[in-house]
Structure 1
């Protein structure tokens, strides 16, 4: 059973927007000491690279592979919180960066997208090669959560050879519903504009390296994620347009195909993952466990760590998710 009153955010985080923004900008992320990442570069079969940041302490008993969200990285608040809690409790953590998200433009024509299950599968296979003796679980946040779910669906029973359990956090499993939500009203000002700032810059860099792949002027003129995905993401990855991309990349229609114990965690006050778009128990397999608390925002889930703590700590999220993964995977967690 899930904690009935979780999370209990700081009092000033009184709605989904504040829980989202507060966690990203002002909350602690797992304690005062930052985890020291090591970086490894993996060369991909198509002549590109993936940068993976990892922290695997001596004697680690397991590895969690964490897939970040849209324009995220190992520096994102949730990645730092997962790293702190995992390493404190005897696990290692690895954060593969989607292409273009590690601080250096990638080399190949492709980038990344919400349904990038082939890339997720390749990353997990490489993690298994690098840490073959450690049992593995996977977690994905927002876009990374949807992409992880799509891999679990495509892999079916074979996913068990790579990971023992998985978790998707704040995943936009219905991309059309999430895209419509983020492009409207305050969401468009608070979130879409923030994402588009770096996405348009990356589109410009991609066009300089590979002219003619997509309509650069349309991508640069985009003022919504829908417009950007139609101009850039869809054509770059072989989709017929934004509607084809969002339909084929959404995880919700295929959750019945998941065969690995998987937690799907979504707050019902997430500003751009509408509660009405979330899956129901009837739409998922017996291996999928839905947790839909009333609070948490989008990848928020912060709680105070002591009376009078006004900032809160995002470590409240991995403090719930990692024990669930440990139980599902039958791996000890200190």
Structure 2
């Protein structure tokens, strides 16, 4: 069995190896300009998500497709989203980001939102893409919450349950309970308060319009002072869980690491302030399909390096290298009984 845990080749600039500096730096730097075309994808339950296609798109219908899932309250405008979509687009890939329900330009229709284990919408999207681009190779990446969701989906679906050649998981909180507790400690509470503020703003909008079936008023919402409390009162009851602990247990992808059959790259920093130290020592051993790269530094979706005489995102460089390693599929999905998808390199 080959070694599945490797040291990432990320090196922070001198003086910029602090976890919080790395986490916050991307928000302070210019983001690459990137045009987009927005498409509404209708869902089977009557709700919708927005697809953000990097523009211009390749003319070739067989051009490979890069699908990106953002983190909690992220969007097309998140720094990592711009960098990763731009990197894929520059390589000639058809790049698209799916806004989770309510994260796009309009509130979603139904009395619900999205959560870390909500795989159904991504599954529907992959089916849509399989029909639309049947001969195109497809690779998906998920960042933070989106990474946990993606890993859970590929573990549940097995090696041939999706029209997907591979997955990339970045800074994912694979132990949701431990991550919620970590975010309620020390300086990390700054991030927790920022996320709570964004989440509460959306919930208040719907509460004011009697659009959520929750026994919660504006004052009760304002008094929620942790993500765990929010998940217990809002996320869990909206999505059929029996409280925050039940949600964390059932939605965490970490326990499924040994079940992954699809080629999957996981990128993680040991100093990520959203998660406990040595996160992967607490989780089951990854399956042979998983290539785990852990950096000593990097923060949460930070990984800023000094390159070309300026600060640049190592993540964009690492993902570009990963996308370059893939070859075209020999046959269209789902007929994978013949030659299998292959990639060179790592």
Q: TM-score, normalised by structure 2?
A: 0.87
Alignment match, 1:57: 58
Equivalent of 1:318 in 316, 334, 341: 316
| Runs (5+) with no aligned partner, structure 2 | 327-340
Q: State whether structure 2 residue 160 is matched by structure 1 residue 141.
A: no
- CA distance in structure 1 between the aligned counterparts of 2:323 and 2:70, rounded to whole angstroms: 17
**How many positions carry a matched residue from both structures?**
323
Report if aligned partners of 2:257, 2:284 keep a CA contact under 8 Å in 1: no
**Partner Cα distance (1:110, 1:123) in 2:** 19
Q: Check whether the contact 1:142–1:171 (CA below 8 A) recurs between aligned residues.
A: yes
Matches of 1:280 and 1:135, distance apart in 2: 34
In the alignment, is the contact (CA less than 8 A) between 1:165 and 1:325 conserved in 2? no
Shift in Å, 1:214: 4.6
Q: Please name the residue that 2:335 is paired with.
A: none
| Deviation digits for residues 55-91 of structure 1 (CA, Å, limit 9, x no counterpart) | 2333473111000000001111111001111111111
- Whole-angstrom distance in 2 between the partners of 1:66 and 1:209: 32
Kept in 2: contact 1:27–1:313 (CA 8 A): no
* CA shift for structure 1 position 278: 2.0
Match of 1:125 among 115, 127, 146: 127
SS at match of 1:116: coil
Instruction: Assess, with a 3 A threshold, how the Cα gap between structure 1 residues 183 and 171 changes in structure 2: closer, same or farther.
Output: same
Which of 94, 97, 106 is 1:95 aligned to? Answer: 97
Q: Deviations over 1:221-269 (max 9, x none)?
A: 2111111111110110000000000111111111111110001111001
**What is the CA deviation profile of residues 74-131 of structure 1, one whole-angstrom value per residue up to 9, with x for unaligned ones?**
1111110011111111112110100010121110112000111122211222232333
- The Cα RMSD (Å) is 2.3
Which of 265, 268, 275 in structure 1 is aligned with 2:267?
A: 265
State the secondary structure of the residue aligned to 1:108.
Answer: coil
Q: Which residue is equivalent to 1:22? A: 25
Superposed displacement of residue 26, structure 1: 1.9
User: What is the match of residue 192 of structure 1?
Assistant: 192
State the match for 2:169 in structure 1: 168
Q: Single out whichever of 211-220 and 199-208 deviates more from structure 2.
A: 211-220
CA 77–214 in structure 1, closer or farther in 2 if over 3 Å, else same: farther
Query: What corresponds to 1:9 in structure 2?
Result: 12
Q: Is the 8 A contact 2:116 2:149 kept in 1?
A: yes
Higher strand share: 2
C-alpha contact 1:166 1:325 (8 A) present in aligned 2: no
TM-score (norm 1): 0.90
Cα distance in 1, alignment partners of residues 215 and 12 from structure 2: 43
Q: 1:181 to 1:90 in 2, by over 3 A?
A: same
Q: Is the 8 A contact 1:203 1:220 kept in 2?
A: no
Q: CA deviation at 1:3?
A: 8.8
Q: Residue 224 of structure 2: which of 219, 222, 225 is its match?
A: 222
Single out whichever of 74-83 and 275-284 deviates more from structure 2.
275-284
Q: Kindly tell me: are residues 164 and 324 of structure 1, through their superposed partners in 2, closer, same or farther at Cα, counting changes over 3 Å?
A: same
> Which residues of 2 match residues 290-309 of structure 1 at below 5 A?
290-307=292-309, 309=310
In 1, are the aligned partners of 2:274 and 2:300 still within 8 Å (CA)? yes
**Could you tell me whether the CA contact under 8 Å between 1:117 and 1:148 is conserved in 2?**
yes
Gaps of 5+ in 1: none
Aligned to 1:152: 154
